[in-house]
Amino acid sequence: MTDPPLTLERRMERLDAIVAKLEGEGLELDDALALFEEGVSHIREVERMLHDADLRIERLIAGPGGTVETEPVRDPG
């Protein structure tokens, strides 16, 4: 599992889709269970994130050749 971590937006969209599918018709058990597991894992991940209370602040800096770099800001303002 080397996929990049899913974004919050993606997880919430996925969750909506899972709920809709589980509440719909025509699922096989394997699929229903897999969707259930996936749904619960998204819920747990997002819950974990909600409690991750540190605001991360970074400063954008123009790098060479039109690139953009970031550096952490410890004392904003």
Partner 1 sequence: MSPRPFRDAGGARRAPGAAGAWSAGGARPEAYTVAAVNAMAKEMLETALPPLWVQGEVTGWKRHTSGHCYFGLRDRSAQIRCVLFRSDAQRLPADPEEGMEVRTLGRVTLYEARGEYQFVAREIEGMGAGGLWRIAFEKLYRKLDAEGLLAPERKRPLPRHPAAVAVVTSPVGAALQDMLRVISVRAPWTRVLLSPARVQGEGAPSDLARAIRLAARSGLADVIIVGRGGGSTEDLWAFNDEVVARAIASSPVPVISAVGHEIDTTIADLVADLRAATPSAAAERAVPDRAAMARELSTAEDRVRSGLARWVLKRRDRIENARTALTRSVRRTSRRRKELLSQYGEKLDALSPLGALRRGFAVPLGRSGRILRSVDAFEPGGAFDLRVADGTVPCRVEDADFARENG
> Contact with partner 1 (CB under 8 A): which of 3, 65, 73, 74?
73
Give the nearest distance from C-beta 29 to partner 1 in angstroms.
6
Report the alpha-carbon distance of residue 39 to residue 48 in Å, rounded: 14
Judge whether 18 and 39 are in contact, CB under 8 Å: yes
Closest CA to 59 of 43, 42, 73: 73
Residues at the contact surface with partner 1, assessed by CB under 8 A: 7-9, 12, 15-16, 18-19, 22-23, 27, 29, 32-33, 35-41, 43-44, 46-47, 49-50, 52-60, 62, 66, 68, 70, 73, 76-77
